[in-house]
Amino acid sequence: MNWQSHPQAPTADTHVCSLDAIPDGGCIEVSFGDADALRLVVLRDGGEAWAYVNVCPHFSLPLNSRPGEFLVTDDRHLMCAYHCALFRFHDGLCVDGPAKDRSLEAVPVTIVDGVVRIAGDR
């Protein structure tokens, strides 16, 4: 199931968060819905942001083991908290670890007036 099939999937132009809400070089989690929420991890590098479904392609676990706590490296990689798979911010590709060469599921976003929004034509 891709993110667009999720019952809580946001439509195009949905407000995700303000860019300033994401620490530069870090990330936050944003959820859509309550029970069975669609959980996204939204990462930032300067004026750019990317969003991925918060599910590791290794064992389909969340990338964080504690709410709101993610492991990031100075060179803009996100590390899965469970078995240390390392994903690039800019394309979600795993470059090291047990999910090597697999990718996080990207959710296209755009930044308009300092606000991260869902992109596309949903």
Q: Given the rule CB under 6 A, which residues bind ligand FES?
A: 56, 58-59, 61, 80, 82-83, 85, 97-99
Looking at the DSSP bridge assignments, the partners of residue 45 are 48
> Rounded to the nearest whole angstrom, what is the least distance from the CB of residue 83 to ligand FES in the complex?
3
Residue nearer to ligand FES on the CB measure, 103 or 110: 103
**DSSP assignment of 75-110:** TSEEE-TTT--EEETTT-BEEESTTTT-B--EE-EE
Nearer CB in complex with ligand FES: 97/111: 97
Instruction: Report in angstroms how near the CB of residue 110 gets to ligand FES at its nearest.
Output: 28
For the bound state, the minimum distance from the C-beta of residue 53 to ligand FES, rounded and expressed in Å, comes to: 13
Q: Strand, coil or helix: what is 25?
A: coil
User: Based on CB atoms, which residue is closest to ligand FES, 25 or 98?
Assistant: 98
Handedness of CA 73, 92, 121, 7 (dihedral sign): negative
